[in-house]
Structure 1
């Protein structure tokens, strides 16, 4: 991969509803900086406790790590299950939506891999795509179907494309939400009370309250926009991806658009020593943008 200092212009849409109160999200004079490129398709950025950012190069079956110490990207894991979404738990374990065999993986800091889940009620998952770990340790993950050329099957294993919940003790697996066309990106609030799910094929993002056993309730339309991956800042603003990065405040008002000079922006997370840099995975590249807000904790 090559490291570059290419800059991409950022446009803040001050005319959008709610923009007057949120127009200073981006640090003064900051623009997205190219951190690294030369990948095939970057996805799933996740940040550890030290601010290091891990992301996947899904077609090349690798997980990479960007280090806060030297600003260098290295290979963290080969043969990474063709992982998409990643997320860290409080103990520093990395969880992955491993697409190769439609599994949920746990990867310890020593890179020891265990398969937590591979199917539901005797059927293989459609293809776990993204996941979020709630404060109590429960895991929510989306299970859309995107046909892969490396699978031996072509039919969708489970008719419904759903969201599932794995209990903190890892003994219970429940349907958390259904009735969606193709659930993809997912993120929840730090208090563990609300989760946001993007239905990318229906071009909508929904909010849910989290009930008993991870059952998602009070489905409410949050935004008339779908998303691939997503993240949240400390103010509760939601960052959606696809055509660059689009930011909505807690009321569901569009307040900012960050253009990215790539055909598709797949995912975002906050990282760095101060957790105040927005990391953007887009096609063959990863970008960083200095912000005035930190990621939600």
Structure 2
């Protein structure tokens, strides 16, 4: 381990970082920072402070942080669709919503087969417009991250909302607690975290990789990587297909072949990450209480 903010475990990681770069703290004061999304049209980053029931906004032009939305339905994960609209997972409403360009909010999905979802956690949108999200029970387990309630579905699933039919389908039902998810740059694969160790002793703390078929169908599901420091939570993919995943000791970077290349070391556990900035080479990191950032010589995969 070096004295820098990086730990190189494979020489290939050297091309992903600059040892002179430092992890900077942009803001602190959150109770549980999560769900960052960079909005290029406005040059700002949104992220959730779930227990405080608010969404915060960091302005790239002024470095100022302000409250973007409060109350915020205990929002968690965010993403952009291909039209640049913000799609949000809400623990409080137990739904996935979309904020239109005029500011109105539309509910995309709140039920599966007539039963309320658990508490949508993280979300991504495919180029065909389909909305993929995870639905663990974290937001209904207690009142800390939402409203305590009994689950109606009786399982924690990975779901897909078909953009053509508007139907919500379960695409994977063998997770203990599905969490973060990300497509490969070519959308041939999807990576999904299972953080079931939070609810099951010795439970999963890994990332699984599935192959995508046309429509809302998955194949495979083998374990891609296991976490040896806490557990994985949110993740993002760069243009070369490397995974950047939050863990207890920082952000872990994996080659597409499954090799752990190295780590971005942080002063607190990481929940989620996002690539942003004009060149998408600024890695934003949601620590437990803080929003952190570091600049890299690699760029995040394009999402819009």
Do the structures match in fold with TM over 0.5?
A: yes
Structure 1 window deviating more from structure 2 (60-69 vs 131-140): it is 60-69
Give the structure 1 partner of residue 206 of structure 2: 204
Give the structure 2 partner of residue 93 of structure 1: 85
CA contact (8 A) 1:174 1:213 kept: no
CA contact (8 A) 1:128 1:141 kept: yes
- Structure 2 segments unaligned to the other structure (5+ residues): 197-203
**TM superposition shift of 1:9:** 4.7
The equivalences for 1:211-222 within 5 A come to 211-222=213-224
- Alpha-carbon spacing, 1:11–1:191, altered in 2? closer, same or farther (3 Å): closer
1:143 aligns with 2:144: no
* Alpha-carbon distance between aligned partners in 2 of 1:176 and 1:138, rounded to the nearest angstrom: 12
Give the structure 1 partner of residue 255 of structure 2: 249
* Alpha-carbon distance between aligned partners in 2 of 1:149 and 1:197, rounded to the nearest angstrom: 26
Give the structure 1 partner of residue 100 of structure 2: 108
* Aligned partner of 2:244 among 211, 219, 239: 239
Aligned pair count reads 285
* Aligned partner of 1:258 among 252, 264, 270: 264
Structure 1 window deviating more from structure 2 (94-103 vs 165-174): it is 165-174
- Structure 1 segments unaligned to the other structure (5+ residues): 1-7
Q: Secondary structure, in 3 states, of the residue corresponding to 2:101?
A: coil
User: Which segments of structure 1 move beyond 3 Å, counting only runs of 4 or more?
Assistant: 150-154
TM-score computed with the length of structure 1 as normaliser: 0.91
CA contact (8 A) 1:12 1:23 kept: no
Deviations 1:83-110 (A, max 9, x none): 1000011212100110002111111233
TM-score computed with the length of structure 2 as normaliser: 0.89
CA contact (8 A) 1:195 1:210 kept: yes
* Aligned partner of 2:18 among 27, 32, 36: 27
